[in-house]
Amino acid sequence: MSVRAVEFEPTFEGWQAAARALLREGVPPADVRWRETASGAQPSLIADATAPSSGAVRVPRRFLDLARRAAAAPDPARWQILYETLWRLVHENHDLLNDARDPGVRRLSALAKQESEGEPEGEGAARLVPAGAGLAELRGAAASCTGCDLYRHATQTVFGRGPADARIVLVGEQPGDQEDLKGAPFVGPAGEVFDRALADVGLERERLYVTNAVKHFKFEERGKRRIHQTPRANELAACRPWLDAELAAIKPEILVCLGATAARAIFGAGFRIMKDRGRFAATRWAPRTIATLHPSAVLRGEDPAQEAKLYQMLVEDLRLVATA
């Protein structure tokens, strides 16, 4: 095979257009020499690409996010690294990015990270999530997350807890006061309800992975008390990459959304918890995904009778999970 010199505009879009044409023609990475042209010049391969666009190449969205960031890094080798990764995603392994130890994946994440250094804060966690990382690495990176403003007032990042090979993942909304102080999810009053319900259906907490849609406690100070505030859509969106990365690392068989916030994050904004709870559906995160009441909703019942009823609903749904 002869070596192809590819002239292209050194932007993500310029690289992408050239890479698409190369892929279409089946040119392997080893045969490509990337030559940056002045801004505004036509990428040569696109100019003379006569092949009709034969269906877009399907790559994980995470790759596009990473590639965009890596393209902004100063390293001249980035174009070649990007194309090598793209080639392998298409020809070798669609799930390549989940392999944290793969040297190519590591190089790509390092590039993406270069770009994010010195970026302004508050743009979401996406730039801070190491690609293809395992749980321990994710937890470490999340500890210094500045993806939104919530880290400024909270004590610490409350990352998920549980074994990396958990079959079942449960997602709540956001850490509360106790969780913020202890650094673990569901260890306060809602955690007590949660633990009781798990025990009632025979699920062992040590075997579950438990996390939240948002990793920092949001609160309002009233005297000495810190009152929980519901996260806003922009905070949910900012923190979402952490949840996605946790789920990508674990690949659970069963995913349980605790409460409306988590359920909407997973099933979409139209989800109605009281109407739609207690039914398994396949999602891209787990073949069996289900939603139930948030344990703290049980604590907000109007009277003991209603609390008992709400608690029964939670237990009923968790029993489906325990027996699935």
**Interface residues with ligand URA (CB under 6 A)?**
172-176, 179, 185-186, 188, 190, 212, 296
Residue 142 binds which of ligand URA, ligand SF4, none (CB < 5-8 A, kind-dependent): ligand SF4
Number of residues written out for the chain: 324
Q: Identify the three-state secondary structure at position 118.
A: coil
The distance of closest approach from Cβ of residue 235 to ligand SF4 in the complex, given in angstroms and rounded to an integer, is 6
Hey, how many other C-beta atoms are within 10 angstroms of the C-beta on 107?
A: 18
Shorter beta-carbon distance to ligand SF4: residue 105 or 213: 213
* Cα radius of gyration rounded to whole Å, the chain: 23
Q: Which does 216 bind (CB under 5 to 8 A by kind): ligand URA, ligand SF4, none?
A: ligand SF4
**At 268, is the secondary structure helix, strand, or coil?**
coil
The total of other beta-carbon atoms located within 10 Å of residue 145's CB is: 22
Partner touching 208 among ligand URA, ligand SF4, none, CB below 5 to 8 Å by kind = none
Query: Which does residue 190 touch among ligand URA, ligand SF4, none (CB within 5 to 8 A, set by kind)?
Result: ligand URA
Give the relative orientation of helices 233-250 and 135-142 as an angle to the nearest 10 degrees. 160
Spatial CB neighbours of 57, under 8 Å, sequence gap ≥ 6: 20, 23, 24, 86, 90
Distance, in Å, from the CA atom of 227 to the CA atom of 220, rounded to the nearest integer, reads 5
Is 129 a residue that touches ligand SF4 (CB under 6 A)?
A: no
Size of the site for ligand SF4 (CB under 6 A): 16
Site map (CB under 6 A) of ligand SF4, residues 197-216, x = contact: -----------------xxx
Q: Which spans of this chain sit near ligand SF4 (rule: CB under 6 A)? A: 125, 142, 145-148, 150-151, 157, 214-216, 235, 238-239, 242
